[in-house]
Chains A and B, each alone.
Chain A
């Protein structure tokens, strides 16, 4: 299977298991920025049993679960990694935390058409991807936030973005990126 087919496979499996989810990370950002390749597929899920075990069992012939669980330092979010057996494409499963911005992002998610696999998928809004990228703040996150802001132009809810960036102490970084974008129109 190609990587795009793996994304469709995982989305179908998570739907069939009845697990609430939203696409995350770079793949979610691709809806809003200049497209680029990615090395993995992030999903945020609301974990509950027995659905999670059923999901893992359904994907087990294709993916193996990394036994190591990881903790994200800013929000305490837990991460599992599913490793594709035949390629090096991984799926990262983030467990929905009680972080206030995560909950806001979750409540604002929307079903978006995914033309490449002829289905819909729950996807965060552009504003939440900017906030999330700036919060992590790694070099690629900053580039992606810049790309989303540049491509989306005026179609962004700036008071919402600024409120969360203030809460996360990222307003200066947001302002720096906005100031660095040249006029393109």
Chain B
């Protein structure tokens, strides 16, 4: 089943122009951020938009640090 879905997604991507794949990725990204924001709102009801953004940023920052591990290191601060 998963193999069939995977194959279908690959064949669809092969049939798309690069700009169509890019546009679809942007739609997915818009959707993903909407879902992530709603998840934070659900976990913290009553928070204003700025707080939701700060909480989401905190989650994504943890992901960035995980991805940066052994690949990026702080160099210096501009401040």
Contact = CB atoms under 8 A, between A and B. Distances in A.
A150 B10 contact: yes
Contact of A79 (B30, B31, B37, B72): B72
Given A3-B30, A138-B71, A88 B22 contact: no
Q: Which of B25, B27, B60, B79 has the most CB of A within 10 A?
A: B25
B71 to A, nearest CB: 6
Prevailing SS type, chain B contact patch? helix
A61 interface: no
Interface size class of B (residues with CB under 8 A): 35 or more
B35 to A, nearest CB: 9
Contact of B22 (A2, A67, A72, A115): A115
Given A30-B25, A34-B9, A70 B20 contact: no
Interface size class of A (residues with CB under 8 A): 35 or more
A112 interface: yes
Contacts of B36: 88
Given A3-B33, A34-B9, A73-B72, A116 B23 contact: yes
Contacts of A138: 67, 71
Contacts of B25: 27, 30, 35-38
A100 interface: no
Interface string A100-120: 000000000000111110000
B13 A35 contact: yes
Nearest to B63: A39
Interface of A: 2-4, 7, 27, 30-40, 65, 67-74, 78-79, 83, 86-90, 112-116, 123, 136, 138, 140, 147, 150-151, 153, 184
The 10 closest A-B pairs by CB, nearest first: A37-B32, A30-B25, A4-B26, A31-B18, A67-B79, A35-B25, A88-B57, A35-B24, A116-B23, A115-B19
10 contacts: A2-B30, A27-B25, A34-B10, A37-B29, A37-B33, A39-B29, A39-B60, A69-B77, A88-B36, A112-B19
